[in-house]
Amino acid sequence: MHSPADRADRLFARFYRRVLLFTLGAGVLGLALIPFGMASAVGRGARFFLVAKLVAAAGPRLVPQVERYIEFIGWASVVIVLSGVGWLTLAH
| Residue partners of 11: CB distance under 8 A and separation at least 6 | 67
- Asked if residue 49 lies in contact with residue 42, where contact means CB atoms within 8 angstroms, the answer is no
| φ and ψ of 10, to 5 deg | -65, -45
Name the phi and psi angles at 32, rounded to 5.
-70, 145
DSSP character at residue 68 = H
Task: Please give the Cα distance from 4 to 2 (Å, whole number).
Answer: 7
pLDDT for position 45? 81
The Cα 90–Cα 55 span in angstroms is: 35
Q: Is the pLDDT of residue 42 over 80?
A: yes
Of the pLDDT bands very low, low, confident and very high (cuts 50, 70, 90), residue 63 is confident
1: pLDDT confidence band, cut at 50, 70 and 90? low
Q: Which residue has the higher pLDDT, 28 or 88?
A: 88
Average pLDDT over residues 14-32: 74
Q: What is the pTM of this model?
A: 0.46
Tell me if 36 sits within 8 A of 47, measured CB to CB.
no
Q: Is residue 49 very low, low, confident or very high in pLDDT (cuts 50, 70, 90)?
A: confident
